[in-house]
Amino acid sequence: MTEPKRSAGLLLFRHTGHGVEVLLGHMGGPYFAKKDAGAWSVPKGEYEPGETAWEAARREFQEELGVAPPDGEAIDLGEVRQSNGKIVTVWAIEADLDPGATDPGTFTMEWPPRSGRIQEFPELDRVAWLGPDRAREVIVKAQAAFLDRLAEHTD
């Protein structure tokens, strides 16, 4: 049996006059272009044995958003298993970040399928601060557990 893929990320949060908001990214590429629900994610990415989840979370934040990960107290939000079997580990950090200052990394894939054409797409095509209700509506289903765990720390 093969080991499940592992991914790690950082969930930024901030306190506003309207309560806590979290920074999520809308996944780029053609599969998510017209989707909203289930198409937003904690900035994260896969890592291999030999790299710690914490190192990967910070590296992936930089790769996905094009800005250095913030320093600050990291709250361990644990891990979840997504429907695709991937295990995702996330830490939350209180920080403010201008979504307009991000410069997401890119990936390439054949598109349209079986066309032989390789196209480049942003890892995240939008980055936004969302309140808990809106975040829950659009985040990858398994990752909603991170919102619950963060609420336990910020209430």
pLDDT above 90 for 75: yes
Dump pLDDT digits (tens) for 9-54: 999 999 999 899 999 999 999 999 999 999 999 999 999 889 999 9
pLDDT above 80 for 2: no
**Cβ contacts of residue 38 below 8 Å, gap of 6+?**
138, 139, 140, 141
Instruction: Count the Cβ atoms, other than its own, within 10 Å of residue 12.
Output: 23
CA 86/CA 72 separation, integer angstroms: 27
Q: What integer is the mean pLDDT of 93-103?
A: 96
**What pTM was computed for the model?**
0.94
**Cβ contacts of residue 144 below 8 Å, gap of 6+?**
136
Predicted pLDDT of residue 1: 64
Alpha-carbon distances, residue 117 vs 31, 34, 110 (angstroms): 16, 21, 5
Dump pLDDT digits (tens) for 76-97: 999 999 999 999 999 999 999 9
**Residue 116 CB-half CA count within 13 A:** 0
Predicted pLDDT of residue 98: 96
Instruction: Give the residue from 115, 119, 106 showing the smallest Cα distance to 45.
Output: 106
How, if at all, do strands 6-16 and 87-94 pair?
parallel
